[in-house]
């Protein structure tokens, strides 16, 4: 195989990817215009265009294209799964679960569908059913990191922090570049007041994805608690730059600036000169 012919550079992140890829596995960017995904009147092309619309958050058009893909190939499990995830993004959880169950009917060993069903149950606060599906995904593929991360979130919501950290540890062991797992484990350390460990995890998460506003906000919150006001202010400003509609860092920035001003006034004030 000639690797230079069969690969190309992603125009967004410059990582090497397969020549025929339509979406970069590193940065998630789509590599051509939406219209170009419909190269042929076949199910795969409609599915690919559906993914492009999903990435643009045009969920109705995404569903239209997944519908067409399924119409052309009624056994196309990836199209059912993708349509199910689009319904999930629209918070139509019953429709999402219905599509995921169809995927499992077509392929009982399709671990991604079980993970996705678990996410839908998580959002519906049906934690028992969520854990059951994450467990099934892990049973089918013990090296699949996402259900460990997702099950860790359920354990956190149930205040089972040790089990939560155990799952995040496993997710990171399987994928040392799993940014979400570092952020989530850092959040658990924060809840347990293990601030040094939390900062270490948020640092790693930011190294892996400098553009995640949530992680900058999380680290800023710990700096604020530790009275490291300049570092907190920098993180809150960065979070706001990345997501101007993110309310929490806007409010926390005000608190940090006020506390810094109060702290300075305690130690520094105009002085009288005696002669």
pLDDT digits (tens, 9 = 90+) for 49-89: 999 999 999 999 999 999 999 999 999 999 999 999 999 99
pLDDT surpasses 70 at 28: no
CB-based contact 179:212 (threshold 8 Å): yes
Average pLDDT, integer, range 101-128: 96
Asked which of 27-36, 165-174, 177-186 is least confident by mean pLDDT, the reply is: 27-36
Please tell me the distance from the alpha carbon of residue 206 to that of residue 233, in angstroms, as a whole number.
16
pLDDT surpasses 70 at 115: yes
Q: Model-level pTM? A: 0.79
pLDDT surpasses 90 at 118: yes
| pLDDT at 261 (0 to 100) | 84
Reported as a single tens digit per residue, the pLDDT across 206-235 is: 999 999 999 999 999 999 999 999 999 999
3-state helix vs strand vs coil in the chain, percent to 5:
70, 5, 30
pLDDT surpasses 90 at 37: no
| pLDDT at 64 (0 to 100) | 96
Q: In the structure encoding, which two tokens stand for residue 183, read together?
A: 């952020």
In SS3 terms, 3-27 reads as HHHHEEECCCCCCEEECCCCECCCC
Please tell me the distance from the alpha carbon of residue 143 to that of residue 159, in angstroms, as a whole number.
25
Across all residues in the chain, what is the average pLDDT? 88
> Which residue ranges make up each domain of the chain?
108-192, 210-259
pLDDT surpasses 50 at 12: no
Class of the CATH domain delimited by 108-192:
mainly alpha
Q: State the maximum Cα–Cα separation within the chain, in Å, rounded to a whole number.
A: 94
Please tell me the distance from the alpha carbon of residue 52 to that of residue 23, in angstroms, as a whole number.
8
pLDDT surpasses 90 at 22: no
Task: Tell me the pLDDT band of 41, cut-offs 50, 70 and 90.
Answer: confident
Task: Tell me the pLDDT band of 145, cut-offs 50, 70 and 90.
Answer: very high
| pLDDT at 262 (0 to 100) | 79
CB-based contact 53:63 (threshold 8 Å): no
| pLDDT at 264 (0 to 100) | 55
């Amino acid at each position: 195989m000639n690797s230079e012919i069969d690969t190309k550079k992603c125009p967004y992140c410059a990582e090497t990817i397969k020549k025929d890829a339509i979406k970069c596995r590193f940065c998630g960017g789509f590599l051509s215009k939406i219209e170009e995904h419909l190269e042929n009147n076949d199910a795969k092309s409609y599915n690919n265009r559906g993914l492009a619309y999903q990435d643009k958050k045009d969920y109705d058009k995404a569903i239209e294209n997944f519908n067409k893909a399924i119409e052309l190939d009624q056994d196309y499990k990836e199209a059912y799964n993708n349509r199910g995830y689009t319904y999930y993004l629209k918070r139509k959880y019953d429709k999402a679960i219905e599509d995921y169950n169809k995927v499992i009917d077509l392929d009982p060993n399709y671990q991604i569908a079980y993970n996705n069903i678990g996410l839908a149950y998580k959002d519906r606060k049906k934690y028992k059913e969520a854990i059951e599906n994450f467990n099934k995904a892990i049973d089918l593929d013990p090296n699949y990191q996402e259900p460990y991360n997702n099950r860790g979130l359920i354990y956190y919501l149930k205040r089972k922090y040790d089990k939560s950290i155990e799952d995040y540890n496993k997710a990171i062991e399987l994928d040392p570049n799993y940014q979400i797992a570092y952020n989530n484990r850092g959040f658990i350390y924060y809840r347990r007041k293990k601030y040094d460990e939390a900062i270490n995890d948020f640092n790693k998460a930011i190294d892996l994805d400098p553009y995640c506003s949530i992680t900058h906000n999380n680290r800023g919150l710990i700096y604020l608690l530790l009275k490291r006001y300049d570092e907190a202010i920098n993180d809150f400003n960065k979070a706001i730059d990345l997501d101007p509609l993110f309310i929490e860092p806007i409010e926390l920035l005000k608190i940090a600036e006020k506390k810094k001003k109060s702290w300075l006034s305690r130690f520094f004030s105009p002085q009288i000169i005696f002669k």
